[in-house]
Amino acid sequence: MGRGRAPCCAKVGLNRGSWTPEEDFRLITYIQKYGHANWRALPKQAGLLRCGKSCRLRWINYLCPDIKRGNFTKEEEETVIRLHKLLGNKWSKIASCLPGRTDNEIKNVWNTHLKKKVAKKDANETKKKPGETQKPSSSTTTDSVSDNQMSKIEAEQSDDHSSNNPSEPISDLTSVPPPIEPNMAVKNSIWEMNMDTIPMILSPNCSSSSEVIQTLEIPEFTMEPEIWDMLEHLSSGSDESCNIDQDVLNPETERELNKRDDWLEKLERELGLWETIEEPQGVMGPFHGVEGDPISTYFEN
């Protein structure tokens, strides 16, 4: 299944197109454990048949825990419109002002909704006041970008214009701390994000960046409940099976639970390898897709 243009160079043996849950799983677990210092080397070390670029894109645009999913709020839309008026198609700059939103997402939203919306609005304004140009307003009160931040951007733009030097780059907007307020709504969206692919795995040795994730509530999981059970079990770091009061269960559920326990036992044996994973060495990493690799084994069965 291929998307986009034909590949510019032969990438024999590399997967293309949509990511499978297994690939997501590998990427998430690898990055959570080792980070992503070198995207080019990452696919090999993680046992992924993808190019580094593809991995990076998948992580940044979809799997990264900081990403906020769901529709844009009115405020976010307003912000995008205002920033686009100031910056043009500088999607990454705009994204830096919208915590949790990616440049790709903003670009898509702009191209599919906002562009039309703005065009329509402009057409209306022109009808009303012919000859009068619209001035960017900074009086919107419920903006998701702070007034300070917007003023700074506007000042930068103004300086830029006054110096009459279009080649001069705009100073980095990321230097202005974005108004990130971590809350459960955002955190839950992380889970929503992964619901249709694979949840974050919480290995007992997970790095600090994933500790935040560990505090999240676990939502209902509709896909492959076995996977969810497995992850939940692993994340607890417990040797015990899930604590469910078997007395209140009906026989059918109990049978299912027993089945699951057997299954978990089997998995535990396979995933025992998680405990013995070494730091990546050379080009071959711990998740290299070799026979006996627990992830491959799981997804094959």
Partner DNA sequence: AAATCCGCCAACCGCAAGTGC
Partner DNA sequence: TGCACTTGCGGTTGGCGGATT
Distance in Å, CB of 112 to DNA, minimum: 3
Distance in Å, CB of 82 to DNA, minimum: 16
| Residue 10 is a binding residue for DNA (CB under 7 A) | no
The 3-state secondary structure of the chain reads: CCCCCCCCCCCCCCCCCCCCHHHHHHHHHHHHHHCCCCCCCHHHHHCCCCCHHHHHHHHHHHHCCCCCCCCCCHHHHHHHHHHHHHHCCCHHHHHHCCCCCCHHHHHHHHHHHHHHHHHHHHHHHHHHCCCCCCCCCCCCCCCCCCHHHHHHHHHHHHHHHHCCCCCCCCCCHHHCCCCCCCCHHHHHHHHHHHHCCCCCCCCCCCCHHHHHHHCCCCCCCCCCHHHHHHHHHHHHCCCCCCCCCHHHCCHHHHHHHHHHHHHHHHHHHHHHHHHHCCCCECCECCCCCCCCCHHHHHHHC
| Residue 194 is a binding residue for DNA (CB under 7 A) | no
| Residue 162 is a binding residue for DNA (CB under 7 A) | no
Number of amino acids touching DNA (CB under 7 A) = 43
Q: Scanning residues 261 to 280, which ones bind DNA (CB under 7 A)?
A: none
| Residue 78 is a binding residue for DNA (CB under 7 A) | no
Choice between 110 and 287, CB closer to DNA:
110
For DNA, which residue of 58, 68, 84, 260 counts as binding (CB under 7 A)? 58
| Residue 40 is a binding residue for DNA (CB under 7 A) | yes
Binding marks (x or -) toward DNA, 115..144, rule CB under 7 A? ------------------------------
Distance in Å, CB of 20 to DNA, minimum: 9
Chain contacts with DNA (rule: CB under 7 A): 1-9, 11, 15-19, 37-41, 52-54, 56-58, 61-62, 89-93, 103-105, 107-109, 111-113, 169
